[in-house]
Amino acid sequence: MTVEIIPKKFFKHIEDGIYEIRIKSGSNIYRLFSFFDEGKLVILLHGFTKKSQKLPRKEIDRALRLRREYYESK
C-alpha cells in the first residue's frame, strides 16, 4: 500500500521535532523515535516495545540526547 499522507496513528509528533513511528507485527506493537534532518531525511533513533498507554519519559529523553549527538557528530 502506498499513501501520500501518513495517518497520525502511525506517525505522530511527540515533542521538539521528535516523532514516533508505530509498527505493528502480529500482536506486538513497536515504537521508533525519529526526526527530520533538514526537512528531507528521516533519521531513525531507537525503538522499543510500549507496554502501557503512557509514553516513558526516559525514552523521549533518550531520543532528544541521540538527536543532539547526531548533530554534534555531523
Residue 63: DSSP 8-state: H
Per-residue H/E/C for 10-32: CEEEEECCEEEEEEEECCEEEEE
Indicate the pairing of strand 41-49 with strand 11-15: unpaired
The Cα 15–Cα 20 span in angstroms is 10
pLDDT tens digits, residue range 27-36?
888 899 999 9
pLDDT tens digits, residue range 17-52?
999 998 888 888 889 999 999 877 889 999 998 777
Q: What's the predicted TM-score (pTM) here?
A: 0.81
**Domain locations in the chain?**
11-73
As to burial, measured by CB atoms within 10 angstroms (0-12 exposed, 13-18 middle, 19+ buried), residue 15 is exposed
